[in-house]
Amino acid sequence: MKVMIFVDHQNFCQSLWRIDRHRQEKISGLSNFVMEHLNAQLNWAKYNPRLIRNYIYTGEYADTTIGKIKKDLEIAKTEKPKFVGAIEETLKNSLRRQEGQKKAFEAIRNNSSFLEIRAKPLQYSRGRIFQKGIDVQLAVDLVSHAYLNSYDVAVVCSGDVDLIESIKLVKNLGKKVIVISHPENTASAILKECDYFIDLSKLNEEQLNGISRFVEYENELESIKIN
C-alpha cells in the first residue's frame, strides 16, 4: 500500500494553535505519526503501508517578496510618507522571518526522509503579505499523482473546502483519502467526503509531542515559524 502525505503548512499550524497557541509544528515527526496511526487505528499493517513522499506546501519569504516591500518603501518615502514607518516595520519583520524560515527549511530537510517542500513566494500588496496558489498546487499534485498511480492512500493535512472537488476526483479513481486537521479548522464538506478523519484535538500529549513542540515565548514562535 503506497501512502503520500500532502500538508498545507498554514492549515496544519492553525489546527495546532487551536489546541495550544504555543504549539509549533514538528514536520519531521508527522510521517512517523501517520504511518503508526494507520497501522494501529486502521489495522493496516497487514497491507504493508509504505511512505512514498511527504509534500509540504507553504508560502516563502522569497527575495522577490522582500524586493516588493523595499520598492514600496522607496515609493512611500516620496509619495506617502505617513506609511513609511509601517512599511519599514514590515520589512524588518519580513527579513527576520526570511532568515528564520531558511533555517526551518534546512532543519526539515536534514531531519526528514522522502520529504519535499513545495514553497511559493509570498505576495505583497498595500502593506499586506499573503499566500497565493498554495491550495491550488496541493490540489494539482493530489490529482496528478492519483492519475500517475503514485499512491493508494492520500493523507491530506488540510480542511480547506477548496480541496473538496479534488478529493472527490481521486476517490473516484479508487484512492482512499484521509484528512488530518482540527474539526474547527475543517469544512463540513471535507468531513463528509473523506474516508477517514484524524482529529488533532483528540490526540494525547505524547502524540502531540510527536508532531509538535511547545514554544514558551511568543517571540521565539514568531522567529521560527515557516510561514
Q: What does the block give as the cell for 106?
A: 534546512
Q: What percentage of the chain reaches a pLDDT higher than 90?
A: 71
Q: Is the pLDDT of residue 161 over 50?
A: yes
| Interval 19-64: pLDDT, tens | 988 888 888 889 999 999 999 999 999 999 999 999 999 999 999 9
- The pLDDT of residue 127: 86
Separation CA 194–CA 159 (nearest Å): 10
- The pLDDT of residue 153: 97
Separation CA 5–CA 112 (nearest Å): 13
Separation CA 5–CA 146 (nearest Å): 12
Give alpha helix (H) positions in the chain.
9-19, 30-41, 63-79, 84-111, 134-147, 164-172, 188-193, 205-211, 218-224
| CATH architecture designation of domain 2-61+115-216 | 3-Layer(aba) Sandwich (3.40)
| Interval 83-97: pLDDT, tens | 999 999 999 999 999
| Interval 72-82: pLDDT, tens | 999 999 998 98
- The pLDDT of residue 34: 92
Q: How confident is the model at residue 217 (pLDDT cuts 50, 70, 90)?
A: low
Domain-by-domain residue ranges, the chain? 2-61+115-216
Q: Is the pLDDT of residue 99 over 60?
A: yes
Q: What does the block give as the cell for 208?
A: 502531540
Mean per-residue pLDDT, 120-137: 90
Q: How confident is the model at residue 223 (pLDDT cuts 50, 70, 90)?
A: very low
Q: Average pLDDT of the chain?
A: 89
